[in-house]
Amino acid sequence: MLEKAVGIIGGVGPLSTVYFMDMIIKMTDAKKDQDHINMVVLNHATIPDRTDFILGKSLESPLPVMVSDAIKLQNAGADFIVMPCNTAHYFFNKIKESVSIPMLNIVEETVEYAIKKIKNLNTIGILATDGTLVSSTYQRVCDKKGIKCVAPNKEQQKCVMNLIYNQVKAGKSADIMTFYEIMQDLLDQGCQAVILGCTELSVIKKDFKLDLPYIVDSLEVLARKTILTCNKQIRE
């Protein structure tokens, strides 16, 4: 069998990219080096901030850089591309159009996984950056499936952004109690599950070894799909 290679547009953020690679390796059912999947990675940390551009706080678009990276990954031999960043999926279609190889969509894959995981899913909470929420990437996919999306209120969303930018991206330990409180409030509003729609939040889940049945981790979903796309098996 011809081995597939995944191309990863990384650096968005850098720690999430490393965690994503680690997740792929640990989740792959492998008994030796050669059983693992091939990865071509651009951990491009200097890509302009996605949320700042979406919100109009910056005029520096990350799109040209991500398009360039996608082309580099294709030229380097990647068979398909992934972006371990939910906010960057605001630009997904234009990046996908720039290459001739397939791209996996973390938002679509995560919603599909949530539907399979949660029986009779009709309401789901979304924890994500302001950029992801404003661009309605999850809301649009959920609307097509008849699923209601619930986001944190204004004050809680400030706390979510603080967790992402001032704690995880800054290399600091996350305020886990605030994280729990925000998730619990979404559950109290009738959410059957909570999507970690920012890969920095996936880092919190990993760091604190959270194993809660109502969490749907977008980074883990993408890692799982990446492994399967490479014709490998998941280590259960």
pLDDT digits (tens, 9 = 90+) for 190-203: 999 999 999 999 99
Residue 149 is a catalytic residue: no
Residue 159 is a catalytic residue: no
**pLDDT band per the 50, 70, 90 thresholds, residue 236:** confident
pLDDT at 63 over 70: yes
Listed by start position, the domains of the chain span: 5-105+221-229, 106-218
Hey, what CATH topology would domain 106-218 get? Rossmann fold (3.40.50)
pLDDT at 41 over 60: yes
- Output the 3-class SS for the chain: CCCCEEEEEECCCHHHHHHHHHHHHHHECCCCHHHCCEEEEEECCCCCCHHHHHCCCCCCCCHHHHHHHHHHHHHCCCCEEECCCCHHHHHHHHHHHCCCCCECCHHHHHHHHHHHHCCCCCEEEEECCHHHHHCCHHHHHHHHCCCEEECCCHHHHHHHHHHHHHHHCCCCCCCHHHHHHHHHHHHHCCCCEEEECCHHHHHHHHHCCCCCCCEEEHHHHHHHHHHHHCCCCECC
Proportion of the chain above pLDDT 90, given as a percent: 97
Classify domain 5-105+221-229 by CATH architecture: 3-Layer(aba) Sandwich (3.40)
* Average pLDDT, rounded, for the chain: 96
pLDDT at 1 over 60: no
User: Under a CB-based contact definition with an 8 Å cutoff, are residues 94 and 61 in contact?
Assistant: no
Q: What is the pLDDT of residues 198-217, one digit of tens each?
A: 999 999 999 999 999 999 99
**pLDDT band per the 50, 70, 90 thresholds, residue 3:** confident
pTM above 0.85, yes or no: yes
Q: What pLDDT was estimated at residue 217?
A: 98
pLDDT at 86 over 90: yes
85, 142, 149, 191: the catalytic one is 85
**pLDDT band per the 50, 70, 90 thresholds, residue 2:** low
142, 191, 198, 230: the catalytic one is 198
pLDDT at 40 over 80: yes
